[in-house]
């Protein structure tokens, strides 16, 4: 039986935030800009990161990635195959990366060799919300294949993100999803202040706009 002491959860989050601040300062001291990509399994995080990194590398920006997964090295393998240097980071059984795991991954990277670090979080739309990693940006990626109710079902992760992206726009019709519904839900959730970015990582559509949003 797993017993949680009163107040323990708070301490875990506090400690995570403390280490996240250290990660942030460490990356800044090496002039690195960083992004945490959150989203469900199958949202297209890996493909999007590969596409963003390709475009940045073509401009001479030095990019590396941290591939967060519960187990295995599938995303890490895809990064390396695309020419994106990466570090694999398995959580073992946790459904999210935390700042301490990212700190360990950063210690394996020669930070002076890079300008940008992309972190792919574990495929999950709930748990990563509470665990900032110390990145400049937190991005949530959803796809049209997940249905039109993702914003309505997962307020927290959208409210904890700087940027929201709707991927797989090219197959919205085929899966019977109206992107306008998702866009309107997101506008409402953010008080009319923010729009969701629409893209297709596969078709290379909408990627440049995301780079601009990330200040890259």
Paired tokens of 66: 């941290």
Which residue's C-beta sits nearest to Mg ion? 46
Paired tokens of 92: 């073992």
Q: At its nearest, how many Å lie between Mg ion and the CB of residue 42?
A: 8
Q: Which of the stretches 42-50, 97-105, 175-183, 203-211 binds Mg ion when contact is defined by CB under 5 A? A: 42-50
Instruction: Please identify which residue in 23, 34, 40, 46 interacts with Mg ion, judged by CB under 5 A.
Output: 46
Q: Name the DSSP letter for residue 95.
A: S
- Measured between alpha carbons, how far is 5 from 29 in angstroms, rounded to an integer? 37
What CA–CA distances, in Å, run from 122 to 5, 110, 156? 26, 23, 16
Q: Which of the stretches 16-24, 69-77, 167-175, 180-188 binds Mg ion when contact is defined by CB under 5 A? A: 69-77
Site residues (CB under 5 A) for Mg ion, limited to 181-210: none
Q: At its nearest, how many Å lie between Mg ion and the CB of residue 120?
A: 6
- In the stretch 72-91, what mask flags binding to Mg ion with x, by CB under 5 A? ---x----------------
- Are the C-beta atoms of 38 and 157 separated by less than 8 Å? yes
Helices then strands, each counted (H, E), the chain: 8, 7
Binding site for Mg ion (CB under 5 A): 45-46, 75
């Amino acid at each position: 039986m797993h017993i949680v002491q009163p107040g323990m959860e708070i301490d875990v989050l506090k400690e995570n935030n403390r280490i996240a601040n250290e990660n942030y300062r460490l990356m800044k001291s090496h002039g690195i800009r960083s992004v945490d990509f959150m989203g469900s399994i199958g949202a297209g995080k890996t493909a999007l990161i590969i596409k963003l990194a390709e475009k940045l590398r073509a401009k001479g920006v030095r990019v590396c990635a941290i591939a967060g997964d519960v187990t295995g090295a599938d995303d890490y393998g895809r990064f390396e195959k695309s020419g994106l240097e990466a570090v694999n980071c398995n959580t073992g059984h946790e459904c999210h990366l935390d700042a301490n795991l990212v700190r360990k991954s950063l210690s394996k990277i020669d930070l002076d060799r890079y300008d940008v670090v992309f972190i792919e979080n574990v495929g999950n739309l709930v748990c990563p919300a509470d665990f900032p990693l110390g990145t400049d940006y937190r991005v949530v990626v959803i796809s049209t294949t997940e249905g039109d109710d993702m914003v309505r079902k997962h307020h927290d992760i959208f409210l904890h993100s700087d940027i929201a992206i709707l991927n797989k726009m090219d197959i919205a019709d085929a899966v019977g999803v109206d992107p306008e519904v998702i866009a309107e839900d997101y506008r409402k959730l953010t008080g009319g202040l923010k729009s969701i970015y629409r893209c297709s990582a596969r078709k290379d559509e909408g990627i440049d706009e995301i780079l601009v949003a990330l200040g890259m």
